Amino acid sequence: MGPHSIDMFDEVLDSAGALAAQRLRGAPGAREAVARALEAAASLPVAALAPLAFARHLGTQLAQAEAPELALERLHARDLALAFACAHGRAGASELLEAEVLQKLRVPLSRIHPSPDFVDEVLQVLRAKLLLPRAGAEPRLLGYAGTGSLLHWVNTSAVRLALRMRKTHGQEALVDAEVLAAHPGQGGLELGFVREEARAHVRAAFVQAVAQLDDDDRELLRLHFVERLSLERMGSLFSLHKSTLSRRLSGVQALLEKRTRRLLSERLALPAPELESLMRAVHGRLDLSLTGLLEPRE
């Protein structure tokens, strides 16, 4: 371990902020982990990165981690360095990203649409999104924190982009609330035809509940219910086991049920027994398209 790398530890701490720095300073092996990260950055076959700049970038990323010492321990340092090099236009970096990440996306993207031209188009748009500065913001690659592989991180963005772009090719998928009703979460929420006087309230409560979902939960529902992707296919796209996806889907549906029930109660001010009766009465089909509700936020 060279003295130069050891000196960079303080730069990482300074950029990480007081709270993260305190945890990193007391973490066993933190200095060595920073040294390994700098060595990984230096080993990239691209134009040399400035160690100080990379150390500060590493500190900035660790500052955002809930457990910075664990983030450092599990850091994909070479991937973080590659993303940093690409975002700063280092010679050879974009070519390395192309070979190690982008070209490996062709297989999962072809599962969404088999046309090679479509895959090329998605990759072209993805390159621009990752590498070019946005209005008032840095290139998106600088948002990669190194907590998982760069390939997986970019693949997630690529799949979302491809699904959106597929709609421009006339393959937009539609889904009704009945799709969610066919897969109720624990507690058995079903969204469908209800008594005429309650239909608008159920619809409004459900729309509001969907709108309150965070981006990841909305995306999960959209892929499975709007895009009609199976758990197996989603697993192959995101490198996750279908049982993990199934648990997440059940959790999101249970959350939707809980929020719809609460919002409906607020709208109608019903006693609990009447609310339960109304929820049990929901069955069949409610003419509510989720396509617009589950569009990814930009």
CA-wise closest residue to 218 among 141, 111, 292: 292
Domain over 177-281 is classified CATH 1.10.150.20:
no
Tell me the per-residue pLDDT of 19-47, one tens digit each, with 9 for 90 and over.
999 999 989 999 999 999 999 999 999 98
Specify whether the backbone of 29 is left (phi greater than 0), alpha (psi in -120 to 50) or beta.
left
CA-wise closest residue to 224 among 245, 247, 203: 245
The DSSP letter of residue 27 is S
What sign for the dihedral angle of Cα 66, 69, 73, 78?
positive
Better-scored residue on pLDDT, 198 or 12? 12
Virtual torsion, Cα 189, 193, 199, 203, nearest 10 deg: 50
CA distance 158 to 272: 45
DSSP per residue, 40-78: HHHTSSSSPPPHHHHHHHHHHHHHTSSSHHHHHHT--HH
CA distance 268 to 283: 19
Predicted local confidence at residue 163, as pLDDT: 77
Per-residue pLDDT at 154 exceeds 60: yes
Where are the chain's structural domains? 3-168, 177-281
CA distance 14 to 16: 6
Task: Using a cut of 0.75, tell me whether the model's pTM lies above it.
Answer: no
Tell me the per-residue pLDDT of 227-237, one tens digit each, with 9 for 90 and over.
778 888 887 77
CA distance 204 to 132: 40
Residue 271's pLDDT band, with cuts at 50, 70 and 90, is low
Tell me the per-residue pLDDT of 46-105, one tens digit each, with 9 for 90 and over.
988 889 999 999 999 999 988 999 999 999 999 999 999 999 999 999 999 999 999 999
